[in-house]
A and B are shown apart, each in its own frame.
Chain A
Amino acid sequence: MENFTLKENARIGEKYYYLKHKSGLDIYVVPKKHLSSYAIIGTRYGASDRSFKTEKDEDFLTVPDGVAHFLEHKLFESEDGEDTFARFARVGGNANAFTGSNQTCYLFSTTENFNENLEILLDFVQSPHFTEENVAKEQGIIGEEIKMYEDDPNWRVHFNMLEGLYLNNPAKVNVCGTVETISKITPEILYRCYNTFYNLNNMVLCVCGDVDAETVVSVADRVLKPAEKVSIIRHSEEEPEGINQAFVSEEGEVAMPIYNIGFKEKVLSDPSELLKYKAEMEILMRMMFSKSSEFYNDSYESGLITPWFSAWSNAGRDASYSVISGSAPNPEEIFEAVKAEIRKRRESFFDLDSFERAKRCIYAETLTDFNSTSSVANAMVGFALNGNDFFDFADAVSAVSVDDLKKRLAESFEPERAVLSVVVPFSAE
């Protein structure tokens, strides 16, 4: 095992093996004595990658919205016409995939024939097959997926919030695109995207289960074709510090208004800064808005908020924002109350007890992630695609000091860069 880096976390009783494979792929193996094993491979490519080139291309290519997600669907098509799901199913694998703003991931879980399943996973992500015909067929299916989301007020309110936050940043691009934009997708566009981003140097594999690292690498040796390292240049228009629109409203088939309050945060591209940011925001959000926070309880008692209330932060490669969301009769009042709470906490910070409790809760939650092979592997890949290590997260949380949080709070949740997005019931006709 001399090629592997072994990392252990004694506190949580877990370890992983890491290897930079000769093909360029980063490989992580987290042993876990479960009956099922899980593998996920991800690429640093998502809905935000709208305009790009490699150092070998002359011009930037700007693609229609929704290409990354479309490509994810189409990669399941193979040249010999055999459906990829069927290939997995024959050896007992259950496959799936998902696309986000900055990443696209393919995965399977299985309780048998792990090597055969891994071989299929690594093979199909290296074997694109796009034709006029299969692209046209997918437009119908994804068209229905888009319509399903159009009827989903939680989806609408979220993307409207991003519209409010950003003028140019592609973070606001709807992952699926629209019926109109996907109609412009061609096999040529898909191949160019594929050839740019599905380079093994731009990808990460994580396996979690009762599998040994050497076996994983022997499958990788057999299946992976070495990839020449490319540098990807992404183009995006300058994004101003300020927001686009402070209030976005839409009518929908909802019982009471639903809302997303968004704060535009500074983008951090340095991985260690990003990890620190994540740890600090997680603690802050919990202290301010969790079910054991004063804000939550006071607002619930007074009827301002309902139990449909949550808060989280999103920190990506090219966009970073904080969200408070829920459903309540008067979102405008909640917007004001949230801003008031932030002002208040900047002036008089929380007591030490809530700080310690928040840290303890995050420790317990991180530990609980290790109950499931998919939670571990998804988190590992998510962190790795951002240049980080999930195993470092618990330590990053415990290293945070009260002063760090005060500083973070002073820099974040800026009321000037806040947006309220609402979906309200249709007005009576």
Chain B
Amino acid sequence: MKISNYEVCEGVKLTVIQTDKFKTDELSVSFAVPLKKETVVLDHLVPEVLSHSCKDYPTQLEFNIAAERLYAADLEGYASNHGEVQLINFRLNTINESFAFDEKELFSKALGLFSKMIYEPLLDSDGFFDKEIVEKKKKDLCDAVRARKNNKTRFASSRAVELLCEGEDYAASVLSSTEAVECVTAKDLKARYDEVLNSSPVYIYFVGALEGEKVLAKVKEILPFTPRTAEKLVTEVKYEAGEFRRITERMNIVQSKLCLGFRSGMTLAQDCYHNFVLFLELFGGSPVSKLFVNVREKMSLCYYCSPIGDNTKGIMIVSSGIDGKNREKAEKAILQQLEAVKQGDISDDEFESAKKSAVGALLEVNDDQSALARWYRGRALVSNKETLESFTEKILKASKEDVVNAAKGVSLEMVYFLTGEEERA
């Protein structure tokens, strides 16, 4: 595996991870903008509209057929965020040409269609996006916002994030209202598109069999990037919990959801972030972690109980599905396990298992095309030059004290409880 970094033009970075272990080639282009309540809806809609069709293939049917002809080239557009950096992503995945029956220059052709998707959208006579498509995508996004509650586990943890970060830009990462979507116009969207395309910093990742220089040449030839001044995007990190809050909400459900919201203050931007990764593993990341072994296996309180976090924002949510009557017991048990780590109550076995698990997970990133790009992109966004190898080394060298110190940085700010039960007297 060989990693090469290039600058396509000012503000447009390309990283090529060359490896022949995959059957497919994958290229992703991410435009980075600040995550803001005012623009987040536009940033979600732009890639949706673009990946619907393009000028040369004006209907979704024609566009999808064109992609299928290239051995089912997978072309998609979607929004995601790392902390308070909003990404507008476009991804292309196509089989490596050596596996095609007849096609020559398969990657270049697929990249051509990919370029049309981003740069040659279907516009109306006013130069705006096609109104019908925009309305469709607005409706789909409203549906998705409303459908958030269909998946109770995800709803509860995203609701916890939204409440924990209320008043911060980060809260906008959870789309919870349809109002802002409904008032978007085709004109607003086109203006946002122009702004993003021409002035946002761009991160391009290629993972596949092609050589770095070749990928660079193809990107330069086919994708018409223009120079831009890359402003540094920052995420506001809180290192300590704010005033404690307890929030209970009701829904017509059988299983209650308990989510504990913490500030960890630990992010990818820090040199010691690996200690936090190890802490997460030990605390709740695997079937030998403290939460799994104690809260699930010993106390039989739940089927799942594990922490999720945003490694750019420095927050952690421990999420669990429990019987409503066990709320206090479960909350206490989770906090007890955290306290145990803080007190250094870690056996050698637990520590070594957590280390092995964390290292194994990192090595496995090497075997997953999309995960590889994501791993490096997350770090590039905070100007972290770490490699998978150097990060793995750091984990191997970490001590119990390092994990205890990482745990000590974690503080509880909020308990969110979603339940089907009536208010107790």
Name B103's closest neighbour in chain A (CB-CB).
A360
CB interface residues, A 232-264, toward B, < 8 Å: 253-256, 258
Q: Are B23 and A368 in contact (CB under 8 A)?
A: yes
CB interface residues, B 357-395, toward A, < 8 Å: 357, 359-361, 363-364, 366-369
Instruction: Flag the segment in B167-175, B252-260, B400-408 that touches A.
Output: B252-260
Q: Are A144 and B323 in contact (CB under 8 A)?
A: yes
Q: Are A297 and B150 in contact (CB under 8 A)?
A: no
Q: Are A367 and B95 in contact (CB under 8 A)?
A: yes
> What are the residues of chain A within 8 A of B248 when measuring CB–CB?
none
Bound CA–CA A34/B365 (angstroms): 10
Contact with B303, one of A35, A148, A361 (Cβ below 8 angstroms): A148
Name A95's closest neighbour in chain B (CB-CB).
B287
CB distance from A158 to the nearest CB of B (A): 14
CB distance from B43 to the nearest CB of A (A): 18
Contact with B24, one of A144, A308, A360, A371 (Cβ below 8 angstroms): A371
Q: Are B321 and A144 in contact (CB under 8 A)?
A: yes
> What are the residues of chain A within 8 A of B293 when measuring CB–CB?
83
Q: Are A256 and B254 in contact (CB under 8 A)?
A: no
Bound CA–CA A414/B65 (angstroms): 28
- B109 CB–A CB distance under 8 Å: no
Q: Are A89 and B368 in contact (CB under 8 A)?
A: no
Name A138's closest neighbour in chain B (CB-CB).
B300
Contact with A306, one of B24, B140, B148, B150 (Cβ below 8 angstroms): B140
CB distance from A161 to the nearest CB of B (A): 17
Q: Are B357 and A297 in contact (CB under 8 A)?
A: no
Answer whether A307 and B254 are a contact pair too, CB < 8 Å, given A35-B366, A112-B356: no
> What are the residues of chain A within 8 A of B61 when measuring CB–CB?
292, 294, 297
Instruction: Flag the segment in B32-40, B66-74, B268-276 that touches A.
Output: B66-74
Q: Are A33 and B297 in contact (CB under 8 A)?
A: no
Bound CA–CA A196/B169 (angstroms): 58
Q: Are B60 and A364 in contact (CB under 8 A)?
A: no
> What are the residues of chain A within 8 A of B93 when measuring CB–CB?
368
Bound CA–CA A142/B323 (angstroms): 12
Contact with A292, one of B68, B153, B253 (Cβ below 8 angstroms): B68
CB distance from A285 to the nearest CB of B (A): 15
Instruction: Flag the segment in A149-157, A216-224, A380-388 that touches B.
Output: A149-157
- A90 CB–B CB distance under 8 Å: yes
Most-contacted residue by chain A among B71, B140, B149, B251 (CB, 10 A): B71
> What are the residues of chain A within 8 A of B356 when measuring CB–CB?
89-92, 112
- A18 CB–B CB distance under 8 Å: no
> What are the residues of chain B within 8 A of A139 when measuring CB–CB?
300
Bound CA–CA A252/B191 (angstroms): 40
Contact with A along B136-177 (1 / 0, CB 8 A): 100010010011111111000000000000000000000000
Q: Are A90 and B303 in contact (CB under 8 A)?
A: no
- A227 CB–B CB distance under 8 Å: no
- B288 CB–A CB distance under 8 Å: yes
- A428 CB–B CB distance under 8 Å: no
Q: Are B152 and A253 in contact (CB under 8 A)?
A: yes
> What are the residues of chain A within 8 A of B60 when measuring CB–CB?
291, 297, 300-301
CB interface residues, A 378-429, toward B, < 8 Å: 426
Q: Are A372 and B368 in contact (CB under 8 A)?
A: yes
> What are the residues of chain B within 8 A of A12 when measuring CB–CB?
23, 99
> What are the residues of chain A within 8 A of B72 when measuring CB–CB?
360-361, 364-365
> What are the residues of chain A within 8 A of B147 when measuring CB–CB?
254-256, 308, 327
Contact with A147, one of B150, B254, B366, B367 (Cβ below 8 angstroms): B254
Q: Are B21 and A34 in contact (CB under 8 A)?
A: yes
CB distance from B69 to the nearest CB of A (A): 7
Bound CA–CA A150/B131 (angstroms): 40
Name A294's closest neighbour in chain B (CB-CB).
B61
> What are the residues of chain A within 8 A of B5 when measuring CB–CB?
none
> What are the residues of chain A within 8 A of B226 when measuring CB–CB?
none
Bound CA–CA A365/B24 (angstroms): 10
CB distance from A305 to the nearest CB of B (A): 11
Contact with A92, one of B21, B360, B369 (Cβ below 8 angstroms): B360
CB distance from B14 to the nearest CB of A (A): 22
- A370 CB–B CB distance under 8 Å: yes
Name B321's closest neighbour in chain A (CB-CB).
A148
- A110 CB–B CB distance under 8 Å: yes
- A101 CB–B CB distance under 8 Å: no
> What are the residues of chain A within 8 A of B366 when measuring CB–CB?
34-35
- A174 CB–B CB distance under 8 Å: no
Bound CA–CA A83/B361 (angstroms): 21
CB distance from B318 to the nearest CB of A (A): 16
Q: Are B360 and A110 in contact (CB under 8 A)?
A: yes
Bound CA–CA A95/B286 (angstroms): 9
Contact with B367, one of A154, A357, A373 (Cβ below 8 angstroms): A373
- A312 CB–B CB distance under 8 Å: no
Q: Are B300 and A140 in contact (CB under 8 A)?
A: yes
Q: Are A111 and B359 in contact (CB under 8 A)?
A: yes
Bound CA–CA A35/B361 (angstroms): 11
- A124 CB–B CB distance under 8 Å: no
Name A11's closest neighbour in chain B (CB-CB).
B99
Bound CA–CA A307/B71 (angstroms): 22
> What are the residues of chain A within 8 A of B22 when measuring CB–CB?
371
> What are the residues of chain B within 8 A of A43 when measuring CB–CB?
none
- B64 CB–A CB distance under 8 Å: yes
Q: Are A292 and B297 in contact (CB under 8 A)?
A: no
Answer whether A371 and B360 are a contact pair too, CB < 8 Å, given A141-B296, A144-B323, A297-B60: no
Q: Are A89 and B288 in contact (CB under 8 A)?
A: yes
Answer whether A90 and B349 are a contact pair too, CB < 8 Å, given A253-B152, A360-B68, A364-B71: yes
Name A360's closest neighbour in chain B (CB-CB).
B71
Bound CA–CA A152/B150 (angstroms): 7
A-B contact pairs, 7 of them (CB 8 A): A109-B364, A139-B300, A140-B301, A144-B303, A148-B321, A253-B150, A372-B367
The 3 closest A-B pairs by CB, nearest first: A140-B300, A85-B287, A255-B146
Beyond A148-B153, A297-B60, 4 extra complex contacts between A and B, CB < 8 Å: A34-B366, A144-B255, A148-B255, A357-B65
